[in-house]
Structure 1
Amino acid sequence: MWNTISAKTLHQVQQEGLDVRVENLGPDNAIRFLQVYETGSGDWTGDRKKILEKDPDKIIIRIMEKQKKVPAP
């Protein structure tokens, strides 16, 4: 059983993640791995409300239409 539950700080999690990357990839490739990620821009929360369908019936209809177009295996 668990005696105590300790929450790690964001900094601790970040440091442990970096340590694992360096250990598994080596310092050079760990840096290359980190360079792949960017913070990005935009507002996904706002955008998804505009982009994604809200009506479940319409979602189901679109899925069924796509399934009709794909040949059965």
Structure 2
Amino acid sequence: MSAKTLHQVQQEGLDVLVEKLGPDDAIRFLQIYETGSGDWTVDRKKILEKDPDKIITSIMEKRKNVPAP
């Protein structure tokens, strides 16, 4: 018994999805798992603050500018 190629596994997976979910829902399911771009490990260091006090202060400042419901 030989191992399946990645293409064969992909095709069988798509066939099962379409069989079980139908074409429309199979497409919707695949869209959930769309691959993104970039490197989250690198990006999060740029985006996220490391100091919890700075994060809390930033949140509190932003809340001051939001009108009460």
* Counterpart Cα distance in 1 of 2:27 and 2:52: 42
Name the % identity: 66
Per the normalisation by structure 1, the TM-score is 0.56
Instruction: Provide, for residues 17-69 of structure 1, a one-character-per-residue CA deviation record: whole Å limited to 9, x for no partner.
Output: x65x854x42x1133211x2422222101110111111111111111111111
Pick aligned residue for 2:34 from 23, 35, 38: 38
The alignment's C-alpha RMSD in Å is: 2.4
Q: Which residue does 2:58 correspond to in 1?
A: 62
Aligned residue pairs, count? 53
Pick aligned residue for 2:46 from 47, 50, 55: 50
Per the normalisation by structure 2, the TM-score is 0.58
Gap regions ≥5 residues in structure 2: 1-12
* Counterpart Cα distance in 2 of 1:22 and 1:62: 49
The one-letter code of the counterpart of 2:43 is D
Other structure's SS at 1:32 match: helix
Gap regions ≥5 residues in structure 1: 1-14
